[in-house]
């Protein structure tokens, strides 16, 4: 098992939900964490929690779809900690609707956050990771990146493309000691989903379930490649019994 102590990680969307749980889990393992998101207040809350628990964290208010803001996140990590070992591309947004009348602005926004964001972040850290011959990128995709769901086209396509981005990133960089994993969660109770009508929260995944899987992946021996998107769902249908 690989020791994560004193490694540096960037977690996008670290101010809530899966990103918050992952940032806290990493910090608890002794990882120096940079969290980013657009809302300063959520980042400050999570940073306060991490520091109270003895962890090290830098919050950076930034939009992952903007190249200059992504560069600022990465330069904060480099200035504070010298390098980046781990990138968790977690920030994401949802926008439901059928493709036949899908709002074009919503399409552009979903693609910008869910696909352009992970591309920009990966592009910003890969040269450093290649130089140090060490790095691990984990993309938080979705079951919508593997399966078909009604009125889920824009989001689902952004996640299908994110899965492909992960595969390309892995293949182009695996000879440089860089590993890439893609996690495809089922329903997790977070800000994104908690008010969805008919969702049985008791039957959903928790953000900690995803953070546990992230930690497990990060602590495998360096020569182990875990390919294909990893689907993590619940045994019981979360759309029943609410």
Closest separation in Å from C-beta 141 to ligand NAP: 7
Which residues are at the interface with ligand NAP (CB under 6 A)? Answer: 12-13, 15-19, 36-39, 42, 63-65, 90-93, 113, 140, 142, 185, 187-188, 190-193
CB 20, CB 57: distance < 8 Å: no
Return the half-sphere exposure (C-beta side, CA atoms, 13 A cut-off) of residue 152: 12
Cβ closer to ligand NAP: 42 or 173?
A: 42
Cβ closer to ligand NAP: 82 or 149?
A: 149
List the strands of the sheet with 57-61, edge to edge.
Answer: 57-61, 32-37, 8-12, 86-89, 135-140, 178-185, 230-232
Distances (CA, A) of 55 to 26, 46, 88, 185: 9, 11, 18, 27
Residue 155 a catalytic site member: yes
Q: Which residue is catalytic, options 148, 155, 168, 176?
A: 155
Cβ closer to ligand NAP: 144 or 173?
A: 144
Closest separation in Å from C-beta 223 to ligand NAP: 28
Closest separation in Å from C-beta 237 to ligand NAP: 14
Closest separation in Å from C-beta 134 to ligand NAP: 25
CB 156, CB 144: distance < 8 Å: yes
Cβ closer to ligand NAP: 6 or 191?
A: 191
Cβ closer to ligand NAP: 6 or 194?
A: 194
Residue 112 backbone dihedrals phi, psi, to 5 degrees: -65, -40
Closest separation in Å from C-beta 98 to ligand NAP: 19
Q: At what angle do helices 104-111 and 153-173 cross, to 10 degrees?
A: 30
Structural tokens at position 6: 């004193």
Residue among 61, 68, 57 nearest 9 (CA): 57
Point out the residues that are catalytic: 155
């Amino acid at each position: 098992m690989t020791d994560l102590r004193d490694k540096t990680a960037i977690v996008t969307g670290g101010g809530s939900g899966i990103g918050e749980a992952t940032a806290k889990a990493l910090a608890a393992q002794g990882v120096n964490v940079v969290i980013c998101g657009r809302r300063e207040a959520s980042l400050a809350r999570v940073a306060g929690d991490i520091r109270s628990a003895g962890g090290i964290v830098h919050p950076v208010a930034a939009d992952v779809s903007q190249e200059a803001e992504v560069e600022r996140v990465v330069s904060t990590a480099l200035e504070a900690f010298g390098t980046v070992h781990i990138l968790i591309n977690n920030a994401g947004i949802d926008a439901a609707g059928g493709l036949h009348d899908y709002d074009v602005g919503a399409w552009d926004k979903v693609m910008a956050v869910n696909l352009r964001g992970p591309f920009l972040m990966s592009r910003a850290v890969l040269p450093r990771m290649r130089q140090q011959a060490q790095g691990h990128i984990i993309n938080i995709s979705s079951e919508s990146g593997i399966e078909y769901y009604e009125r889920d086209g824009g989001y689902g396509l952004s996640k299908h493309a994110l899965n492909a981005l992960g595969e390309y990133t892995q293949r182009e960089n695996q000879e440089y000691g860089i590993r890439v994993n893609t996690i495809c969660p089922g329903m997790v109770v977070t800000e994104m989903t908690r008010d969805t009508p008919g969702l049985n929260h008791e039957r959903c995944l928790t953000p900690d379930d995803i953070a546990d899987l992230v930690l497990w992946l990060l602590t495998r021996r360096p020569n182990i490649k875990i390919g294909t998107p990893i689907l993590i769902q619940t045994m019981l249908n979360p759309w029943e019994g609410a």
